[in-house]
Amino acid sequence: MPSPRSPHSAFRTAVTPIDAVTTDLLFVPVFGPDDLLDDLPGVDAAVGGEWRRACAAGTFGRKPYATTIGRVVSGYRATHVCFIGVGEREDADDVRWRRVAAACGYIARQRRVATCAWVVRRGVDVAAVAGAAADGLSAAEFDGGRYRTREDARPVYPTDIDIVAAPGTEATVLAGAVARGRVIGRAVNAARDLANEPANVLTPAVFASRVEALVADTDLAVDVLDEAQLQRLGMGLHLAVARGSAEPPRLVVLRHEPDGVPEGPVVALVGKGVTFDTGGVSIKPSENMDRMKADMGGGAAVAAAMWAIATLGVRQRVIGLIPMAENMVGGRAYRPGDVLTGANGRTVEVLNTDAEGRLVLADALWYAGQQGATHLVDIATLTGHCIIGLGQTVSGLLGTPDDWREQVRAAADRAGERVWPLPIYEEAFDQLRSEIADMTNVGGRAGGAITAAAFLREFTGGLPWAHLDIAGTAWAESKQPYQPKGATGAGVRTLIEVAGSSVPWGRSPRAPKTPRVDLAPRPSDVRRLGLKPRGTEDAQGSEDAFVRGRSSVADHFRSPEASASGIRAATTD
């Protein structure tokens, strides 16, 4: 599959007069009809006054993405010049620059040009704009139609993309910004590639193999824990979710431990990796269920971010964990009323099997603490409630303590990803009370995004922890000038920024670390956990391996997802 190690286009940088740039298509970002293009003398004349004609016709207003393309008739070495609107100068933040550059990338693909170039205008922050442009142009290389067989349906990419700035620009600053932006854009595409894969292709085992292949050329250490090893660790929540599927679960652990980094904080990035979610016994409606192939978007974001963290040489210790499972309906599936035991010993009464994402994350969060993490960030397509509250362009952010959550929010701002904090008050835990276990896995319809996070907090061991709910942002419902319909790679940029932040995380109490153990399951472990290997149930069926009790479900408890048409199936826990 296309990966960060096999990009379509070669990126180059140059500090040169713009009229000397030889390319098929020269992209010139403009700030609305009042832009005099004073820093680009002769550019409008070179295309026979195309810019002024377009402005007179009202093509360019105050909003971005308007374009006009003129053929060069004199003065410039480019064949064509494309003027593309950025919008008002004061609105041109990193997000806007990245999106405008991505729109240019799609224009270059549509016109099937062999080469194109992006102009960094004078008067802007060169590093910020060049980096955002490289990120956006790289992201535009994404192709979600790999299963199309018609030759004419396959995209054509430029072989060379130049990012150019006028004389006087520091060449090393330009080159460094482009190199970093290039890595980030490619990482986003890696996450999109994974999240767009059909579930019949991307099973948990295949997902794990794809992650191994993705990071093969880095210095990341990789461990893939199989079902037997998860049993040995007592991960009853993760294992229960996987029981209804013929595809066994996995837990992938990626470690970034750069040489020469002194002892200090270790951040763990934990991503939900449910490769398909039917809802289990609490089955979803059929509408939009096909999108549940992307329910591993959080895990894809962690895998891609870890590749970028290693490639960029981040000087922090980082652990990535991706718990993988498929939530299916079957004779072995876990049920409402079951009681499960997590790896930390806490018991959970299941009221809804469609609230499975928090279960697989819970065991992984606990394991992150056992592996030495001092700070935690989890990311998941978790709740439809988050979509109803924040829409589909903003991710939810929850966590404790406030200063750690604020550091993650600031990292998202720097990365150009929108997040909005939600509170976790103690009353949220009251909604998770169970009559027969330590807690329930859902807390009713009120504040569903908050109670889901409150559940996760119980498995963090008191470590600083932040939770990103990307249910609304992980999937684009429709095509935009800067991105196609489908997986978006939400969260990748934020995770990279969290790991590479120059802001000291500070020391926090470490979770008690258990010694490394042989993970091969012993007969005593199997008996202790009440487990049976796959395929050993008797003809009458077996007692659920993770059940500690049963309880009826009150009628008023409903899906943890929103019940609005289309929303419930489109976003899952």
Catalytically active residues, by annotation: 284, 358
Other C-beta atoms lying within 10 Å of the C-beta of residue 40: 23
> Residue 367 burial (CB < 10 Å; 0-12/13-18/19+)?
buried
Cα 133 → chain centroid: 20
DSSP structure class, residue 91: G
| 3-state secondary structure string across 230-297 | HHHCCCHHHHHHHCCCCCCCEEEEEEECCCCCCCCCEEEEEECEEEEECCCCCCCCCCCHHHHHHCCH
Element of type H or E holding 150: none
Among residues 130, 101, 94, the alpha carbon closest in space to that of 116 is found at 101
Q: Cite the DSSP H helix spans in 357-491.
A: 357-370, 384-390, 402-415, 427-430, 448-457
Please give the Cα distance from 362 to 236 (Å, whole number): 10
Give the three-class secondary structure for 410: helix
Structure tokens belonging to residue 202: 């991307």
532-544 burial, b at 16+ Cβ within 10 Å, e below that, comes to eeeeeeeeeeeeb
Provide the sign of the torsion angle of the four alpha carbons 185, 191, 194, 198, taken in this order. Answer: negative
Please give the Cα distance from 433 to 415 (Å, whole number): 38
Element of type H or E holding 88: none
Cα 402 → chain centroid: 23
DSSP for 25-85, please give it: EEEEEE-STT---TTSTTHHHHTTTHHHHHHHTT---SSS--EEEEE--SS-SSSEEEEEE
DSSP structure class, residue 557: -
68 within 8 A of 83, measured Cβ to Cβ: yes
The residues facing 466 across adjacent strands are: 377, 399
Contacts of 101 (CB under 8 A, 6+ apart): 27, 118, 132, 133, 134, 135, 136, 137, 140
Other C-beta atoms lying within 10 Å of the C-beta of residue 71: 12
- What would you report as the CA-atom Rg of the chain, rounded to the nearest whole angstrom? 25
Q: Cite the DSSP H helix spans in 140-267.
A: 171-196, 204-214, 227-232, 236-242
